[in-house]
Amino acid sequence: MLIVAVSDDETNNIIHVEYETGVTEQLLENDDRAHPFAVTYDPTTKIVYWSDYTYNVIRRYSLLWGNHSTVFHKSVIRHFPSCITNLSLH
């Protein structure tokens, strides 16, 4: 199954789309201030990563466990990333 994860600029949410079926699902209910920007998906761990330029963080969301957490905070990131690629955190 091919999954595409995108950030929706109108709703400030992250949506994942099953490519073959076109079925979409909203992954997160962001607060009004959050603004996800760059998004990537790791198919081996089924984790979506994204940068949020309101909070200057990189976060992740597990499609398996349904939880999200901050991976990097602005104190670690010197320049806000305009794109991110699959991360190897193993």
Helix, strand, coil in percent for the chain, rounding step 5: 0, 45, 55
7 or 81, which is more confident: 7
Q: Cα separation of 43 and 54, whole Å?
A: 27
The pTM of the whole model exceeds 0.95? no
Q: Is the pLDDT of residue 4 over 50?
A: yes
Looking at this protein, which amino acid is placed at residue 76? V
Average pLDDT of the residues of the chain = 75
20 or 32, which is more confident: 20
Q: Which domains are present in the chain?
A: 3-72 (2.40.10)
Q: How confident is the model at residue 90 (pLDDT cuts 50, 70, 90)?
A: very low
Q: How large is the average pLDDT for residues 73-83?
A: 57
From residue 64, give the alpha-carbon distance in Å to each of 12, 42, 44, 81. 22, 12, 11, 26
Paired strand residues for 6: 15
Dmax over CA atoms of the chain, in Å, equals: 40
Give residue 74's pLDDT.
Answer: 65
